[in-house]
Amino acid sequence: MQELKDRILKEGKVLPGGIIKVDGFLNHRVDTALLDRIAAEFGRHFDMNEATVVLTAEASGIALASIVARHYNKPMIFAKKAKSDNIEGGLYQSEIFSYTYKKKVTLLVSQEWLHPTDKVLVVDDFMANGEAMRGLCDIVTQSGATLLGIGCAVEKGFQGGGDRLRAAGINLCSLAVIDSTDPIVFR
Amino acid sequence: MQELKDRILKEGKVLPGGIIKVDGFLNHRVDTALLDRIAAEFGRHFDMNEATVVLTAEASGIALASIVARHYNKPMIFAKKAKSDNIEGGLYQSEIFSYTYKKKVTLLVSQEWLHPTDKVLVVDDFMANGEAMRGLCDIVTQSGATLLGIGCAVEKGFQGGGDRLRAAGINLCSLAVIDSTDPIVFR
């Protein structure tokens, strides 16, 4: 998606360790109009009439997933990352490693809200090692629902998470795949 | 907002400790069409032409804040709850107590994205003790921006957080204020 690539080149910063900072429009201050155009772009890759639900993981994925779900008038489910008093009963769980926070976290989705009849579009703003995506796909499998695919805004191609998902046969659509950071080069 | 109250009565569950579970439409599985109607309702209470930004705190507030911001074509900022590698430099910080997770957390907003010229609508899906709201208002004050008000979907009136904010002169609009839970009675 050219607009997204242009914004990354214009406003993104590369920090030590290959971290790409796009927090002015994607994951801290969020340009909601851009996210709505990203939602429209996903509609060119996935049959959104078929989708019954959009699934993401807290926290930053919630912004994009909400706007994608709203765009197509679908419900959105976000996997929680810690057990709170507000979740009870049966849970789908998947343990992932968060490179952002340097620790294992467990993704949790209540069994009440994801069913074998669901057709799920997984959405996230960012993918590096693909751990969150892997965990979300695992939860879809546990629920018996159908995974339509994964819509991702920015993929750090050089960290391999996206390619592992593609090799597993998953329909992954990343709108900007960054293959190197010095300077930023898109696939 | 009658539709929201009806949903709480029909689908909400009261758990021990006065916890009101509305995770089928508000904060786990999210009914994005309802959230868009909540956004429209906020527009009857606040001058959304005047607002320059919608501010919330991760995680569940992001869904409603994104859809409110999208509805009025504004950017949305979400305060982070832990320092990640992806935030650097100057931060507005406010320490709050999270009753959901039973621990102190620090809300963080990069100084890069909130300015004295901003007019801020704070949005959250849920308010109990009002700690998150207090922290967000504190961050608005630190930034020198103007607080237009607070838009909240569900307020647990019996926990007093909302009334403390009203007593402090803040323009707080809660669309469903629950004053007791056995049975659920709205203010």
Query: At A34, is the pLDDT very low, low, confident or very high (cuts 50, 70, 90)?
Result: very high
Q: d(Cα B78, Cα B82) in Å, to the nearest integer?
A: 12
| Complex ipTM | 0.94
> What pLDDT shows up at residue B86?
54
| HSE-CB for B8 with a 13 A CA cutoff | 24
Q: Cβ(A134)–Cβ(A104) under 8 Å?
A: no
**CA end-to-end span of chain B, whole Å?**
12
Tell me whether B112 touches chain A (CB under 8 Å): yes
- Whole-structure pTM value: 0.95
**CA end-to-end span of chain A, whole Å?**
12
Q: What tokens appear for B52 in the block?
A: 């320059």
pLDDT of B16 > 90? The answer is no
Are β-strands B91-98 and B103-110 bridged in parallel, bridged antiparallel, or unpaired?
A: antiparallel
- Averaged pLDDT for residues A120-149: 97
Residue B181 CA: distances (Å) to CA of A86, A139, B9? 15, 33, 10
Whether residue A82 and residue B73 make contact (CB cut-off 8 A), yes or no, is no
**DSSP codes, chain A:** -HHHHHHHHHH-EEETTTEEE-TTTTSSEE-HHHHHHHHHHHHHHS-TTT--EEEEETTTHHHHHHHHHHHTT--EEEEBSS--TT--S-EEEEEEEETTTTEEEEEEEETTS--TT-EEEEEEEEESS-HHHHHHHHHHHHHT-EEEEEEEEEEEGGG-HHHHHHHTT--EEEEEEEEEETTEEE-
Residues 25-84 of A with CB under 8 A from B: 27-33, 35-36, 53, 58-60, 62-63, 66-67, 69-70, 73-78, 80-82, 84
Q: What tokens appear for B163 in the block?
A: 């009334």
Q: d(Cα A160, Cα B137) in Å, to the nearest integer?
A: 41
Q: Which one is predicted more confidently, A99 or B167?
A: B167
Per-residue pLDDT tens over the stretch B99-149:
777 889 999 999 999 999 999 999 999 999 999 999 999 999 999 999 999
- Averaged pLDDT for residues A126-130: 93
pLDDT of A86 > 80? The answer is no
Q: Cβ(A176)–Cβ(A22) under 8 Å?
A: no
Q: Cβ(B122)–Cβ(B136) under 8 Å?
A: yes
Tell me whether A17 touches chain B (CB under 8 Å): yes
Q: d(Cα A107, Cα A110) in Å, to the nearest integer?
A: 10
Whether residue A78 and residue B28 make contact (CB cut-off 8 A), yes or no, is yes
Residue A108: closest C-alpha in chain B:
B28
pLDDT of A178 > 60? The answer is yes
Query: At A180, is the pLDDT very low, low, confident or very high (cuts 50, 70, 90)?
Result: very high
Q: Cβ(B84)–Cβ(B59) under 8 Å?
A: no
Residues of A in contact with B139 (CB under 8 A): none
- Averaged pLDDT for residues A4-20: 93
